[in-house]
C-alpha cells in the first residue's frame, strides 16, 4: 500500500511538472482546433493518453538523462501521428512547432541537469529551464488567445477563411505580439509567469547550493561527534577545566528516518550509506551555526544537544535548527526522486529540555568526554511517539515553557503523554 502511494505521488509530481508547461493549454488548443465537438473530445483524449504514457515512462526511467530526453518526445510524436492520420498535416504549423520545440527544449535541459548533479553547468541548466518554462507557457497562452480571437472574427464575417488560416501560420505568429503584450490583462499574466518562475528558480538554486555545501562537508576529514582530546572537544572552556562530572541543562533533539530499513534495501549498500552521510551532514549544517552538537549517530538516528557551550536561548536555538533541517530535508528527497526511488521519506523528531551529566567515560586508555541522562531518553521517546501520533515533530512542555513567545506561536498543543519519570501525563506540542 505504501509503495502504491509513493508511485501515485511520483506520478502526480511528474504530471504536475509536465502539465504546468504544456498539458492544460495544449489540450485546450487541440480541442478548439479540431473542427467539431466529437473530434475535439476524441483528439484531446488521444493526446492525454500519449501524455499519460510519457509520464509513466518518465516516472520509471526518467532519472536516466538520455531516456529523459527521448521520453519527452512521446507526446509531440503522438500528436504528429494523430494529425497525419486524421487530416492534412504540415509539420510547420504553429501548434506542431510549439509542441515539438517545447518538448525538445525541456527534455534537453532536464537531461543536462541530471547529467551534472552540481556545479556551474547544473545552475545554467536550471536557469534555462526556468526561463524556457516561462517563455513556453507564454507562447502557448498567446497562441490560444490569438486562435480564439481569430475564430470569433471569422464567425462574425470580419475575416475570410484564407486570412484565418494564414494568420495562424508560424510566419504570422509574432505579428500581433506587441499588441498582445501591451494589453493590461496580458501584461499582468506575463508578470505573474515571470514571478512564479523566478521563485521556482530561486528555490532550485538554494537546493543546489545546499547540495554543494553538504558535499564539501562530506569531503572534509573531520573528527567524529564524540571527541577524544580537549583540543577537539565541543564542550565549553568551563567544562574542559572541570576534572569531574558536570551537570548541565540542555535541549536535546532526537531524530530518526521512519522505515529506513525498507528504504535501505531498495537503495543498496552504497547508496544507503551515501544517503545517511548526507543526512548527518544536513543535521550538522542546520545545528552547528546555532550551537548544536551531534553527540551520537546510530544508523538513521541522530542525537543533537544545544547548551553544551552556551545555555542562552538553547530551546529557541534547538527548535530553529529543527525547522531549518525540516525545510532543507526536501533536498534529500529530491536525490531519491532523481533516481526514480520512493521519495516520500518521513522523519520523526523529538525535542526535550532537561539536565544531563558531562563526564569522561570509557575503558582505560580509551576514555573520552561524553554526556548521559534521562533528557536524551525523553527526547528519543518523543521521537518514537511521532509515529503513534502521526506527527513529524513533538516538543515537550519542558522545552515549550523555555521558548520565546515568537517560537511558542509556531507550535500547537496536540495532547498529553506519559513520559519517563513523570507521574502524570504532560502536554506535548507540534508545529502548526
Tell me the pLDDT tens digit for each residue of 236-281.
444 444 557 888 889 999 999 888 887 777 777 887 888 888 888 8
Assess whether 76 and 179 both reside in one domain. yes
In a domain, 409, yes or no: yes
Does 207 fall in a domain?
Answer: yes
- Whether the CA torsion 374, 376, 382, 386 is positive or negative: it is negative
Residues 421, 347 share a domain: yes
Residue 222, in any domain of the structure: no
Asked if the model's pLDDT at residue 232 lies above 90, the reply is: no
Same domain, 300 and 164: no
CA distance to 281, 285, 321, 333, 347, per residue, from 329 (Å) = 11, 11, 12, 7, 9
> Is a pLDDT exceeding 70 seen at residue 31?
no
Task: Clarify whether residues 377 and 304 are in a common domain.
Answer: yes
* Same-domain check for residues 237 and 368: yes
Structural domains in the chain (count) = 2
Give the span between the Cα atoms of 177 and 346, in whole angstroms.
Answer: 47
Mean pLDDT of 384-395: 91
Clarify whether residues 193 and 255 are in a common domain. no
Return the higher-pLDDT residue of 118 and 363: 363
166 and 302 inside one domain:
no
What's the average model confidence in pLDDT over 284-297?
Answer: 88
Reply yes or no on whether the pLDDT at 227 is more than 50. no
Last residue of a domain, one of 169, 188, 216: 216
Which H or E element spans position 403?
none
Give the pLDDT confidence score for residue 322 in this predicted structure: 94
pTM score, whole prediction: 0.58
Q: How far apart are CA 406 and CA 300, in angstroms?
A: 31
The pLDDT of 9-27, averaged and rounded, is: 62
Domain contains 389: yes
pLDDT band per the 50, 70, 90 thresholds, residue 398: very high
* pLDDT greater at residue 193 or residue 128: 128
Domain closes at, from 191, 216, 241 = 216
pLDDT at 20 over 90: no
pLDDT at 144: 79
Average pLDDT of the chain? 78
pLDDT for residue 226 is more than 50: no
Distance CA 355, CA 376 (A): 9
Verify that 284 and 382 share a domain, yes or no.
yes
In this model, does residue 168 exceed pLDDT 50? yes
Check whether residue 150 and residue 288 sit in a common domain. Answer: no
pLDDT band at 33 (very low <50, low <70, confident <90, very high): low
Residues 303, 207 share a domain: no
Q: Based on the fold, state whether residues 176 and 298 are members of the same structural domain.
A: no
> What are the grid coordinates assigned to 118, written together?
552540481
Examine the domain organization and report whether 234 and 136 are in the same domain.
Answer: no
Q: What is the pLDDT confidence band of residue 4, given thresholds at 50, 70 and 90?
A: low
Q: Which of 166, 183, 216 is the last residue of a domain?
A: 216
pLDDT above 90 covers what percent of the chain? Answer: 16
In a domain, 298, yes or no: yes
CA dihedral 20, 171, 71, 123 (to 10 degrees): -60
Query: Residue 240 falls within a domain, yes or no?
Result: yes
In this prediction, residue 34 has a pLDDT band, given cuts at 50, 70 and 90, of low
225 in a domain, yes or no? Answer: no
Indicate which CATH number applies to the domain containing 281. Answer: 3.30.70.1230
CB atoms under 10 Å from CB of 142, counted, come to: 21
pLDDT at 396 over 90: yes
Q: What is the pLDDT, as a whole number, of residue 224?
A: 40
- Please report, rounded to a whole number, the percentage of residues in the chain having pLDDT higher than 70: 75
Q: Please give the pLDDT value at position 350.
A: 94
- Domain extent for 414: 230-431
CB 54 within 8 A of CB 18: yes
In a domain, 275, yes or no: yes
Amino acid at each position: 500500500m505504501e509503495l502504491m502511494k509513493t508511485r501515485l505521488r511520483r506520478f502526480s509530481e511528474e504530471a504536475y511538472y509536465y502539465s504546468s508547461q504544456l498539458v492544460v493549454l495544449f489540450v485546450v488548443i487541440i480541442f478548439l482546433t479540431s473542427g467539431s465537438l466529437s473530434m475535439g473530445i476524441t483528439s484531446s483524449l488521444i493526446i492525454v493518453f500519449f501524455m499519460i504514457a510519457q509520464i509513466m515512462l518518465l516516472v520509471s526511467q526518467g532519472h536516466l538523462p538520455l531516456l529523459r530526453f527521448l521520453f519527452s518526445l512521446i507526446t509531440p510524436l503522438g500528436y504528429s501521428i494523430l494529425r497525419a492520420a486524421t487530416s492534412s498535416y504540415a509539420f510547420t504549423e504553429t501548434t506542431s512547432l510549439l509542441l515539438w520545440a517545447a518538448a525538445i527544449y525541456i527534455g534537453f535541459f532536464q537531461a543536462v541537469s541530471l547529467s551534472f548533479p552540481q556545479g556551474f553547468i547544473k545552475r545554467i541548466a536550471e536557469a534555462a529551464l526556468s526561463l524556457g518554462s516561462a517563455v513556453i507557457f507564454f507562447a502557448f497562452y498567446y497562441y490560444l488567445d490569438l486562435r480564439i480571437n481569430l475564430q470569433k472574427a471569422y464567425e462574425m464575417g470580419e475575416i475570410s477563411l484564407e486570412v484565418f488560416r494564414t494568420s495562424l501560420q508560424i510566419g504570422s505568429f509574432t505579428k500581433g505580439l506587441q499588441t498582445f503584450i501591451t494589453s493590461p490583462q496580458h501584461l499582468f499574466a506575463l508578470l505573474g509567469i515571470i514571478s512564479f518562475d523566478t521563485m521556482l528558480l530561486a528555490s532550485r538554486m538554494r537546493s543546489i547550493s545546499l547540495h554543494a555545501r553538504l558535499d564539501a562537508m562530506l569531503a572534509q576529514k573531520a573528527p567524529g561527534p564524540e571527541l577524544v582530546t580537549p583540543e577537539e572537544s565541543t564542550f565549553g572552556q568551563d567544562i574542559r577545566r572541570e576534572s569531574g562530572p558536570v551537570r548541565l541543562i540542555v535541549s536535546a533533539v532526537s531524530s530518526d528516518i521512519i522505515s529506513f530499513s525498507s528504504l535501505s534495501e531498495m537503495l543498496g549498500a552504497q547508496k544507503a550509506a551515501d544517503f545517511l552521510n548526507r543526512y548527518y551532514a544536513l543535521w550538522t549544517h542546520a545545528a552547528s551555526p546555532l550551537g548544536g552538537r551531534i553527540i551520537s549517530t546510530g544508523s538513521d538516528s541522530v542525537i543533537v544537544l544545544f547548551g553544551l557551550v552556551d545555555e542562552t536561548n538553547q530551546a529557541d536555538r534547538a527548535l530553529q535548527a529543527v525547522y531549518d533541517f525540516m525545510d532543507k530535508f526536501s533536498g534529500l528527497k529530491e536525490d531519491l526522486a532523481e533516481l526514480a526511488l520512493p521519495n516520500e521519506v518521513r522523519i520523526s523528531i523529538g525535542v526535550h529540555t532537561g539536565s544531563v551529566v558531562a563526564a569522561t567515560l570509557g575503558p582505560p586508555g580509551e576514555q573520552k568526554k561524553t554526556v548521559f541522562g534521562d533528557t536524551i531518553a525523553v527526547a528519543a521517546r518523543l521521537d518514537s511517539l511521532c509515529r503513534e501520533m502521526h506527527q513529524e515533530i513533538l516538543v515537550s512542555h519542558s522545552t515549550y515553557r523555555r521558548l520565546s513567545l515568537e517560537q511558542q506561536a509556531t507550535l500547537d498543543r496536540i495532547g498529553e503523554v506519559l513520559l519517563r519519570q513523570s507521574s502524570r501525563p504532560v502536554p506535548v506540542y507540534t508545529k502548526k
